[in-house]
Amino acid sequence: MPQSHAIPKAAVLRLSLYLREATELQEKGVATISSSRLAKLLGLTDAQVRKDLAYFGQFGHPGVGYHVVDLIRELKRILGTDRMWDVVLVGAGNLGRALAAYQGFQRQGFRIVGIFDVAPAKVGTRLGELAVQPMGELADTVARTGSRIAILCVPPDQAQKVADQAVAAGIRAILNFAPASLTVPSHVVENSVDLAIRLEQLSFQLRQTSEKPEG
């Protein structure tokens, strides 16, 4: 049973890093891993790794470490990726098409089951095994496949409208790549990735380290 204290949001983010690292270690044939070694691989402290994992149970072995196979199984169970998730994608522009083809999603248990776009010119074009569908078919596809997750790759001025359509279609989680703030009902979870902001943050950090950026 988990501890009765609140789980830090940042801890859950690190679980994904532990899973990624553990998977790589498994592929290399490593059987056990200690908190200190895992921490070093990720640039964290050993205590943090142990505390993060202990929020969710006790699956380490004193004197030994964590069995990589067990660690992976537990992390997948906690994160909910011990199953396949069907995902729909809205916006078949450059980014949308690249994400539709992204192998990393499949590998982590996410399968794109539908791609949608408003532009008639894009509808019908093929992307791997899927063809771009018109927005009108979104609700049908969500209902038929039971998808709970949508990825949004639409222009920022259309993002809110498309998010509303997705929610109306039964979507419960949105990964938003549009540089815009979304408002969603409380039963829907939303997560935004603003690519330009990531560069902006680097720009800020460059200023900090070398006070003279010049040109």
The binding site for a copy of itself (CB under 8 A) comprises 12-13, 15-17, 19-21, 24, 41-43, 78-81, 83, 85, 87, 94-95, 97-99, 101-102, 104-105, 107-110, 146, 148-149, 151, 156, 172-175, 179-181, 183, 187, 189, 191, 193-207, 209-210, 213, 215
- Give which of DNA, a copy of itself, none residue 50 binds (C-beta under 5 to 8 Å, depending on kind): DNA
CA–CA gap between residue 33 and residue 64 (Å, rounded): 8
Give, as ranges, the residues between 1 and 20 that touch DNA (CB under 7 A). 3, 6, 8-11
Among 59, 148, 164, 179, binds DNA (CB under 7 A): 59
| Given 20, 40, 61, 111, the residue binding DNA (CB under 7 A) | 61
Compose the 66-105 pattern: x for residues touching DNA by CB under 7 A, - for all others. Answer: x---------------------------------------
Out of 23, 34, 108, 145, which residue is the one contacting DNA (CB under 7 A)? Answer: 34
Please give the structure tokens belonging to residue 64: 């030994």
Q: How far is the CB of 30 from DNA (least distance, A)?
A: 13
User: To the nearest whole angstrom, how small is the minimum distance from the Cβ of residue 166 to a copy of itself?
Assistant: 13
Q: Select from a copy of itself, DNA, none the partner in contact with residue 148, using the beta carbon and a kind-dependent cut-off of 5 to 8 Å.
A: a copy of itself
Q: What is the 3-state secondary structure (H, E, C) of the chain?
A: CCCCCCCCHHHHHHHHHHHHHHHHHHHCCCCEECHHHHHHHHCCCHHHHHHHHHCCCCCCECCCEEEHHHHHHHHHHHHCCCCCEEEEEECCCHHHHHHHCCHHHHHCCEEEEEEEECCCCCCCCEECCEEEEEHHHHHHHHHHHCCCEEEECCCHHHHHHHHHHHHHCCCCEEEECCCCCCCCCCCCEEEECCHHHHHHHHHHHHHHHCCCCCC
Q: Measure CA 155 to chain center.
A: 20
Q: Does the protein bind DNA through residue 205 (CB under 7 A)? A: no
Q: How far is the CB of 63 from a copy of itself (least distance, A)?
A: 26
Tell me which of 44, 79, 118, 188 binds DNA, using CB under 7 A.
44
Do 169 and 148 meet the contact criterion of CB atoms below 8 Å apart?
no
